[in-house]
Structure 1
Amino acid sequence: MTGDPGLFGPRSVTWQMHGDPMMWIAGVRALYLQALHPRAVRGVMQNSAAFQNNERGSRDAWGRLMRTANFVGTLTYGTTEAAEQAGARVRALHRRLTATDPATGERYGVDEPALLLWVHCAEIDSYLHVLRRSGYPVSDAQADAYLHEHRESARLVGLDPAGVPGDRAALAAYFARVRPELALTPEARQVDAFLRRPPTPAPLVPARWLLWTRVADLAYGALPPYAHALYGRPAPPPATVTRQLRAAGRALRAVPPALRWQLPPQHILRAVARLGPGARPAPYKLCRSAAILGGQDTQGELRA
């Protein structure tokens, strides 16, 4: 295998996991969770029209979702240079943005480390939680390896990797520490309303009901119980949600990967073209490596 493997490389847990179609449902769960941090969601809502229930809100929100997907794809499957450049653009954007606390009048930067850490942890936790719960074969050791790998993505958005949870125990402790700060603000209600019923052209309303509603319901159901309590909307019993996630995982994974990877922005296809067919992400590679995951090399990749 030749060529630049990028930040993580084809033998990393990240490389395999991020090729899974359940990442889209996980991304919506991350939005639900991120919106419960008052300062973080205020920074989003005061700097864009995203998640407003109008045409502009629809454009901005879908654009934001696609930019996030493109950023994650670039960090995972792009070259090291492309990943570093993407991180630099995000850091430069965040440095220019501020938000105001309406209760105190305090003005603060959206690149506060505490806010960046919340967004990062909610996102990475959602990816890991949804994929594992939907049947993707990630062992406990591999889950810890995944979190350790994503100290690199945290660095790219401006965080000190040393302060970012690098295993499941540290991540659980972080969420326990932050939970008292979470609340259902008017901005969080806007995000919830948008995700439940995004503005849709009339001809596409049936498709929204058939497809998007199920995605949003699954993502909401996969939230932790404290998030359901804050939003004030019930969710199905956990066992039911798990069955639904597993059924969705089976259905989506039945679509041939070569077909799924044709969808924009085609990061995986470009990575395979750069590195060769052995770079194709696949769940079986994690199964094969589970028995020999005794450590990591200096690049954070699973040992072959």
Structure 2
Amino acid sequence: MHGDPMMWIAGIRALYLQALHPRVVRGVLQNSDFRRDPWGRLLRTADFVGAISYGTAQDAEEAAARVRRIHRRLKATDPDTGEVYHVDEPELLLWVHCAEVASYVEVLRRSGFPLTPAHADRYIDEQRESARLIGLDPADVPADRAAMRAYFARVRPELTVTAEAREVDEFLRHPPTPPLLAPARELGWRRVANLAYAALPPYAHELYGRSAPPPGVVDLRLRAAGNILRCIPAHLRWQLPPKHILRAMERLGPGSRPAPFKLRGQAAILDGPGRAMRGDGGDTTRWRKPG
């Protein structure tokens, strides 16, 4: 899944969703260089996801340790109450995690990636390891689609659109670009951002106050975007930073190349609700050289 180009649209959807949690979005904007270096921050996030997906176990642990060290020393202030809180509170980390994972599953599924319900449950379960890496207890993290739905239903009353969320929305629709690239931003990026926004759940559209096309229309647009982006040769897509997939293939061999058809082959060996028979006895989140 993490090798699919629609992950970029899924990541933008996740940002829209994460910004609806007031304490989370304040923690981000009060502590980061998002305004001064938005593209750098997005690439650093992609680099972290790539490291824990395609790096060695040591790479993943080291990348996560750096993130935890940064989070531990960061605080934010609630402007309404004056309360000062740590940005690594478990409930805040959990919201960021669930918004990301749910967005990845939702966008890829709706865009035509061959993700069965059992695959989706397995992916959500596997991503509890990424939750552990950022400091959460995996036992407190949703392990399947049903648990994820229950989590969002529980958190829904806490979500709202703050001034900070409006700022994120404005950035995602009109990111800063050099004047010469402004036409390209309007032609390309704005369509991407609009599609990511349209893929949000209906309650998010209500909170932001901007409508979206009907779900069926959004599905057609997601599938069309997926078909177009997947026509780009994989080796060209993977040349982009952070290049973790290429490094993993160099380390593990060409048999480790991520490809959707491998999911189709695995569907036949599912032995129970969402649990897969693991021939190598290990963590299926990372790609391994066969044998």
TM-score norm. by structure 2 comes to: 0.94
1:248 corresponds to? 225
2:83 corresponds to? 106
Q: The residue matched to 1:108 in structure 2 has which SS?
A: strand
2:14 paired with 1:37:
no
Moved over 4 A (4+): none
1:239 corresponds to? 216
Q: The residue matched to 1:99 in structure 2 has which SS?
A: strand
2:56 corresponds to? 79
Show CA shifts across 1:32-61 (max 9, x none): 0000000000001111241x4xxx2xx2x1
- Aligned to 2:180, which of 196, 203, 224? 203
2:272 paired with 1:301:
no
1:229 corresponds to? 206
Q: The residue matched to 1:282 in structure 2 has which SS?
A: coil
Aligned residue type for 1:237:
P
The 2-side partners of 1:47 and 1:261 are apart by 31
2:12 paired with 1:28:
yes
* Paired residue total: 281
The 1-side partners of 2:30 and 2:282 are apart by 38
2:235 corresponds to? 258
1:183 corresponds to? 160
Instruction: Give the Å deviation of 1:200.
Output: 1.4
Q: How large is the Cα RMSD of the aligned pairs? A: 1.4
Aligned residue type for 1:193:
E
Aligned residue type for 1:299:
G
The percentage of counterpart residues that share the same residue type is 69
Give the alignment of 1:285-296 within 5 angstroms: 285-294=262-271, 295-296=275-276
Gaps of 5+ in 2: none
The 2-side partners of 1:191 and 1:279 are apart by 37
2:274 paired with 1:274:
no
Q: The residue matched to 2:62 in structure 1 has which SS?
A: helix
The 2-side partners of 1:89 and 1:74 are apart by 12
1:138 corresponds to? 115
The 2-side partners of 1:260 and 1:190 are apart by 30
Instruction: Give the Å deviation of 1:259.
Output: 1.3
The 1-side partners of 2:26 and 2:282 are apart by 36
The 1-side partners of 2:244 and 2:207 are apart by 36
Instruction: Give the Å deviation of 1:255.
Output: 0.7
The 2-side partners of 1:109 and 1:299 are apart by 35
Q: The residue matched to 1:255 in structure 2 has which SS?
A: coil
The 1-side partners of 2:254 and 2:32 are apart by 40
Aligned residue type for 1:111:
D
Instruction: Give the Å deviation of 1:231.
Output: 0.1
The 2-side partners of 1:185 and 1:262 are apart by 37
The 1-side partners of 2:282 and 2:81 are apart by 45
The 1-side partners of 2:76 and 2:240 are apart by 35
Aligned residue type for 1:44:
V
The 2-side partners of 1:293 and 1:256 are apart by 30
Is residue 10–residue 107 contact of structure 2 (8 Å, CA) maintained in 1? yes
Q: The residue matched to 1:125 in structure 2 has which SS?
A: helix
Show CA shifts across 1:131-167 (max 9, x none): 0000000100010000000000000000000000010
1:213 corresponds to? 190
Gaps of 5+ in 1: 1-16
Show CA shifts across 1:195-219 (max 9, x none): 0111111100111011100110000
The 2-side partners of 1:49 and 1:258 are apart by 31
Instruction: Give the Å deviation of 1:279.
Output: 0.1
Aligned residue type for 1:276:
G
Instruction: Give the Å deviation of 1:223.
Output: 0.2
Is residue 43–residue 242 contact of structure 2 (8 Å, CA) maintained in 1? no
